[in-house]
Amino acid sequence: GFNASNESYGDLLKEGVMDPAKVVRTALEHAASVSGLLITTEAGVADKPEKSEASPSAPDMGDMDY
């Protein structure tokens, strides 16, 4: 196959290029590991939400108080 990192053709397994199926499997294993850590975490660190100022009311419309 073609090794894009050094732009040469050769035996990709001998050159150490991973099989795409192995890449997908490894990505899924790592994603499952991270999601497991997030589920079992008892505490998290986050920024405290800031209270926003109330938006100003609409300006007076003059003599339009029917």
pLDDT, tens digit (0-9, with 9 covering 90-100), for 23-65:
889 999 999 999 998 888 888 788 888 887 766 666 666 666 5
Distance between CA atoms of residues 41 and 35, nearest Å: 10
Residue 18, in any domain of the structure: yes
Q: Count of domains in the chain?
A: 1
The residue with tokens 């899924």 is: 28
Distance between CA atoms of residues 45 and 49, nearest Å: 12
Q: Are 30 and 37 in contact (CB under 8 A)?
A: no
Residue 21, in any domain of the structure: yes
Residue 12, in any domain of the structure: yes
Domain residue limits at 30: 2-37
Confidence of residue 1 (pLDDT cuts 50, 70, 90): confident
Residue 23, in any domain of the structure: yes
Task: State how far the alpha carbon of 62 is from the alpha carbons of 18, 26, 59, in Å.
Answer: 74, 68, 9
Residue 57, in any domain of the structure: no
Residue 61, in any domain of the structure: no
Residue 55, in any domain of the structure: no
